[in-house]
Amino acid sequence: MLDFNSRSATALHVNAAIDAGLEAQHAASAPRAYLGGSRLGHACERALQFEFLDAPKDVGAGFEGRTLRIFAIGHALEDLAVAWLRAAGFALYTRRGNQPDGEQFGFSVAGGRIRGHVDGILAGGPPIPGLAFPALWECKTMNARTWRETAAKGVLATRPVYAAQIAVYQAYMDAAVPGVADHPTLFTAINKDTAELHHELVPFDAALAQRMSDRAVRVLRACEAGDLLPRVALSRDHQDCRQCAWAQRCWGLPG
């Protein structure tokens, strides 16, 4: 029988191999050459510039294997949520033709420099007060603490990046799917720790969508002109700066 130290060593070696494989796959993937609609609500416009320009991240700031595993688990849980909603009678479309290899629903504007992909479109379903069709469906997975806060206070109050994403997607998807800006989005949050589900209806916020669209244009124009937009904070001790993948680069620049 293997002792504890042997089992621990085995786990370390296997995990290292898995993480190395995931990191290699991620490194080999093509960089995103556009400003993602899901990111426009980020607090710092300069960080959005670095992201759009694919500026090298600080040493040690790239996605590690554990983070990539977390992302993968989130995608798998979203696939489960799709199956659950369909089993409940919702006509939920995630790809054109609802085929696994179909093109994902999304939008592309500003010459393809601003894009977004929606989790799904609801074309029908059980009678739910306030829910009308067609409607966008957005799904996020969260740890227990974040999920409890979101469920208690709502996505608009607790997750501004998600709220901005929903507004932008409703605005830009309405041309392809008329009506989605007239009807609330169904937002689903999955508690990764307990499998609890939170659902809420998010009406279209045209003013927020316009602010985010203006922000995207501002970021693109600054990138074209070679200008640096202001930082979100006056000190690198700010929470957003401490978590930023470009903090060293940013604070080493003037302004």
pLDDT digits (tens, 9 = 90+) for 182-203: 999 999 999 999 999 999 999 9
Given pLDDT bands bounded at 50, 70 and 90, which one contains residue 100? low
**Would you state the pLDDT for residue 79?**
95
CA-wise closest residue to 110 among 182, 167, 168: 168
Asked if the model's pLDDT at residue 99 lies above 70, the reply is no
**Would you state the pLDDT for residue 186?**
98
Task: Return the CATH fold of 35-251.
Answer: Lambda Exonuclease; Chain A (3.90.320)
Given pLDDT bands bounded at 50, 70 and 90, which one contains residue 64? confident
What gap in Å lies between CA 85 and CA 188, rounded to an integer?
A: 10
Question: Domain-by-domain residue ranges, the chain?
Answer: 1-30, 35-251
Tell which wins on pLDDT, 88 or 60: 88
For residue 155, the one-letter residue type is: V
Given pLDDT bands bounded at 50, 70 and 90, which one contains residue 255? low
159-191 CB burial, b ≥16 within 10 A, e <16: beebbbbbbbbbbbbbeebeebbebbbbbbbbb
pLDDT digits (tens, 9 = 90+) for 109-157: 999 999 999 999 999 999 999 999 999 999 999 999 999 999 999 999 9
